[in-house]
Amino acid sequence: MLVTNNLGRLRLVIQNIHDRFRSGLRPIPPNCDTRKWINSLFAFLFPVNSDKEFQEAEIEKLQEELKNLLTPIFGDPDRVSGVVYTLFEKLPGIFEELHRDAVRILHFDPAAHSIEEILAAYPGFFAVTVHRFSHELYKQGVPILPRLLSEYAHSVTGIDINPGATIGQGFFIDHGTGIVIGETCIIGNNVKIYQGVTLGALSVSKELADVKRHPTIEDNVIIYSGTTILGGNTVIGHDSIIGGNVWLTESVPPYSLVYHKSEVKVRSNIGREGIDFVI
């Protein structure tokens, strides 16, 4: 009897907490529907199967699915229709940007043998594709959904690009795992970034939410793996090369070569006893 009474009180307490918690929340679209939509959009834009014919009905289906995602967020049918119309009106331009991204990868990555391989197997290209659409929704003032899209790409690829980041044409992420690109980051054209790069903020203060907190990377810059570049006033000048494992919190002029110099010593003839590490 005591256990039953305790369970009853526990249910009441939890129900009360849930009611208060839910009262401050706005509705959000289900994650599964969000992921399904972006995957369907990707498959529609880049049909790797060459036998698949273009179907106009697919556009209508994608538009209707996006409306369903936006309806819980806005409620207002006119606002929802406006966002959907604007996104699909800009679809040809976004597609052209993505095509340039893919062509750049093909031209500059010796391991890339075909466009089909890039579309089907390059995590960097998928992450950038998702970003270009989430960024467009972000610019339209759509809450929640852009972040759901970017976090899906993050979970699949290990590449974390905030929807607010502005990224130019011909963007190339090589390998990609562990890349972080912050909300107010600005990246120019023909930029190449390797795995483990962080383009972040010097401070995480909430008061700086409306301030540019992340660096600007100008055109034709290469940033090698493990590098961290921080600060809203930090500008990496065009045509610069930033070597691996560099920590930067200040600007560098165009045509710079920045690298971290470390010393590695090699000892020989240490004998059979040596140094036995257990890892």
Give the model's pLDDT for residue 19: 75
Structure tokens at 43: 């498959």
pLDDT of residue 256 exceeding 50, the answer is yes
The reply to whether 65 falls in a domain is: yes
Contact 123, 48 (CB under 8 A): no
Distances (CA, A) of 265 to 97, 245, 254, 278: 46, 18, 34, 21
pLDDT of residue 101: 96
The verdict on 45 and 124 lying in the same domain is yes
20-34 pLDDT tens trace: 777 767 788 999 999
Choice between 219 and 12, residue whose per-residue pLDDT is larger: 219
DSSP strands (E only) in the chain: 160-161, 166-167, 172-174, 180-181, 186-187, 192-194, 198-200, 216-217, 222-223, 228-230, 235-236, 241-242, 247-248, 257-258
CATH number at residue 152: 1.10.3130.10
User: Which pLDDT does position 74 carry in this prediction?
Assistant: 93
Distance CA 145, CA 129 (A): 15
Q: Are residues 257 and 240 in the same domain?
A: yes
pLDDT of the residue at 1? 46
Same domain, 146 and 177: no
- Inform me whether the pLDDT recorded for 272 exceeds 70: no
User: Residues 69-105: pLDDT tens digits?
Assistant: 999 999 899 999 999 999 999 999 999 999 999 999 9
Q: What is the pLDDT of residue 126?
A: 98
Write out pLDDT tens, residues 123-173: 999 999 999 999 999 999 999 999 999 999 999 999 999 999 999 999 999
Mapped onto helix, strand or coil, the DSSP state of residue 17 is helix
CB 221 within 8 A of CB 255: no
**pLDDT of amino acid 275:** 55
Q: Which residue range forms the structural domain that includes residue 119?
A: 29-158
**Neighbouring-strand partners of residue 230:** 200
**What is the count of structural domains for the chain?**
2
Q: What is the pLDDT of residue 15?
A: 83
Confidence band (pLDDT; 50, 70, 90) for 270?
Answer: low
14 inside domain: no
Q: Are residues 171 and 242 in the same domain?
A: yes
